[in-house]
Structures are given as structure tokens and as C-alpha cells.
Amino acid sequence: MTDTLYVQRDQPSGVPPLELTGERTLPDVPAENYWYRRHLVVYEWIAQRVRGMRVIDMACGEGYGSAVLARTAASVVGVDANPEAHEHARLRYRASNLRYERALVETYGEPADSVVFLQTIEHVQDAGAVLGHFRKLLEGAGTVFVSTPNVLTLAPEGAERSDNPWHVHEYRHREFEELCARSFARVEMYGLFHARKLRVHELALRAGWDAIHSRLSLTGAFYDRFTPAISTSDFVLRPAARANMDAALDFLAVCRP
């Protein structure tokens, strides 16, 4: 039986809810809210930089990010090969400048001004070939936005990688930057970090908060309230020149030919 804690809640009529499998993040799952907001803040940042452009959101998953981009872009195509995710996105997110296509990111060929590829490059076998394909899709002075988790903060201390079974390869900062630079002449790197209450929580963990809430039997009561309350303002993107990138949660590469 499916655990209802990990299935989307309160979906519009006629929209099939998706189950959280670990392959993609989802909105409307309270236990997943941290990861959803962590991804959403990057989509919102990009949306301010693709105003009036034709955008392809590769591996768009549930579709929420494509809908965010469509608030500012001239047009957005959300591309994903998964049939359940594609159907859900097509039914849930509707706008005159937004559509969804079921296709492989490696072969989808519509030209665009910008390509967005978030939290997915760690899932692909030939990352260089995928980035090269995206570059060919750009028309004019286009931009490709690519994000990926930092293996140094994702994996347990001392481990070479996380235990996520969907990840083919996980990256360090310089390795990821060099990968992008092989396909693009200009690469600007940013790091995503905790801010506001997540920064306070991070400091509390260093001070021993895990032992305290466990000893006082507060774990469930605290995190049942804390996790759903996380917002995009609890994260911040910083340019690599002003950040300790080894401590970043995720990397964002802004790539131009």
C-alpha cells in the first residue's frame, strides 16, 4: 500500500497526484517541503533572468518549475520523458505561453533563447554530450542554466557519494565548473546556501540540537511544524567569488556560448 505521507495532497480535480519516489521533488507533500523550496528558489531566480525569452525546461518533472518560468518568459516548454509526470504537468499547469512535451532531453530539438536543466545532470550517463546538445539549441546570445547538488554536503561525511540510487555521478565545485566549461565559453558559478531560519537551524545542529530534541522526545512535534514552514526566503544564492563553494548545498552554472 502507498504511504499517503509521500503522495501529493489536495490536487485539482482531474489531476492525478504523484508519489514521491526520490527521483524528483514534488510540491504538496509536507515532508518534502525542504527539498521543494530548495529547488523552487532557483527557478524563481532564473525566472527573473529569462523575461521575454523562449525557454525550454528540460527534465521538468512535476511541472511546477516550468509554470514559474512562464510567469515572465515569452514561452516555456516543459520536457520530460516520464509518462506520469508529463500527464500530471499537462493537466495541472495551464497557461497560454506554457506547454509540456514528453521527450528525452538528449534528443529534444526545438530552438530556444534559454535552456533550464535543474537537479538532473547528476542523473545522466553522458553529461558532456547533454550540455553540448543544449548549446546547439540556443539561438543568438542564449543561456543554459544547470544546477546539481554538491557531493561534499549531500553525501555523509567521509563518503564518496550519497545513497541516492537515481544519481549516476555527483559533483564537486571545480569538477562541475570544468564540465560546463568544456561546452561553453563563459560559465558563471553560484552556490546555494541556507539563510534565515534554516541558517539558525544549521547552527543549532552544530551546537547539539539533535541530541536535545531526541532526549526530550520533541523530534516529531518540532519537525512536523518546522519542515512545512520552510520557504524560499530560507535559501540564498551567492556568486562563487563571494562564497565557500565547498560548503554550498547546490551549484548553479550560468552558461553562455
pLDDT of 5-16, one tens digit each?
799 999 999 999
pTM (2 d.p.) = 0.95
| Residue 2 pLDDT | 46
| Residue 1 pLDDT | 36
Specify whether the CB–CB gap between 5 and 31 falls below 8 A.
yes
Q: Is CATH 3.50.30.40 correct for 4-196+236-256?
A: no
What is the residue extent of each domain of the chain? 4-196+236-256
Mean pLDDT score of the chain: 95
Residue whose cell numbers read 519537525: 223
Angle at 155 between CA 128 and CA 159, to 5 degrees: 100
| Residue 4 pLDDT | 66
Query: What is residue 90's three-state secondary structure?
Result: helix
| Residue 233 pLDDT | 98
Angstrom distance (rounded) from CA 192 to CA 234:
11
Angstrom distance (rounded) from CA 248 to CA 240:
10
| Residue 3 pLDDT | 59
pLDDT of 11-30, one tens digit each?
999 999 999 988 889 999 99
Specify whether the CB–CB gap between 110 and 46 falls below 8 A.
no
| Residue 210 pLDDT | 86
> Would you write out the chain's pLDDT as a tens digit for each of its 257 residues?
345 679 999 999 999 999 998 888 999 999 999 999 999 999 999 999 999 999 999 999 999 999 999 999 999 999 999 999 999 999 999 999 999 999 999 999 999 999 999 999 999 999 999 999 999 999 888 999 999 999 999 999 888 899 899 999 999 999 999 999 999 999 999 999 999 999 999 999 899 998 889 888 889 899 999 999 999 999 999 999 999 999 999 999 999 99
